[in-house]
Amino acid sequence: MERHAHAKLNLSLDVLGKRPDGYHEMKMVMQSISLSDRLTLEWREEPGVRVRSTLSFLPVGEKNLAAAAALRFYEALEREPPGLVITLEKHIPVCAGMGGGSSDAAAVLRGLNQLEGSPFPPERLAEIGARVGSDVPYCVLGGTALAQGRGEILTILPPLPTCWAVVCKPEFSISTPELFARLDQCRIRCRPDTAGILAALESGDLYGVARRMYNVFEDVLPPRQQNRIAALKHTLIQYGALGVSMSGTGPTVFGLFDAPETARLAQQRLTQDCPETFLCQTV
């Protein structure tokens, strides 16, 4: 079986505080985009779950979220997992704030559920996904959603009006634990207008969503990275983006566009500086 695992963008990301369990209380509006990995699930006689990937540095065992998802699925079925090979054809950049690993895990859950005769409804698959990673429940359901708690409390929202996203992954990565630690040590000065985004989605107002997008992690980036992110956002605005933001804990920057021609020009310009720049549609 082949499945596609769609990347996600954070239209907004707010951190409300640290929880007693060590996680952070999050409030995020999430959106799927057409950029995706392709997964193949194949049975084999040899027992165990293994991962093959077009990226040689990715783990091949349970440390890979795709393999972990398969094991959690069969635990929920109360069965030993059969021999399974998961092949990942990677297109979503790694460590980019777009949920590539989480989306792969979600695609494995959906695929195995279909192969096993759909024993679990989507909501139960999302619960299983929460045992794999905080973004996996959202990636199981996809579309436009509000994610709360540590990401596992989901509310499906009216879909974002069809638009185009230019997505740019700069040449560096960012440590997620380091950014959370920085956030814990400072007072958050600016927060996204989540209520305004929800109202704009309800009324189908793309511009209203785009101009309210914000990610609190942008305020705690190291100065050099913060300047790079700001420069990319400035270029996207110059080329006609309705709104811009950083996704997840970064460093991916994206802009929303209401016309593919304008978005394509922005992509061509940013590709000169960042080879990992993609033109996508919302899903």
Active-site residue numbers? 8, 135
**Angstrom distances, CA of residue 101 to CA of 89, 91, 259:** 12, 11, 30
CA-nearest of 106, 114, 83 to 30 is: 106
279 phi and psi, to 5 degrees? -105, 120
CA distance 70 to 83: 11
* Local structure of 251: helix, strand or coil: coil
Return the number of other C-beta atoms located less than 10 Å from residue 59's C-beta.
13
Q: How far is CA 244 from CA 43, 47, 71, 113, 165, in A?
A: 43, 47, 38, 36, 10
SS3 245: strand
Nearest-angstrom CA–CA distance, 30 and 11: 6
Which SS3 state, helix, strand or coil, does residue 218 take? helix
248: closest CA among 28, 5, 10, 26? 10
Assign residue 89 a region (left: φ > 0; alpha: ψ between -120 and 50; beta: otherwise): beta
Where does the chain have alpha helices with state H? 65-77, 100-115, 122-130, 136-141, 176-184, 194-202, 206-210, 223-238, 260-271
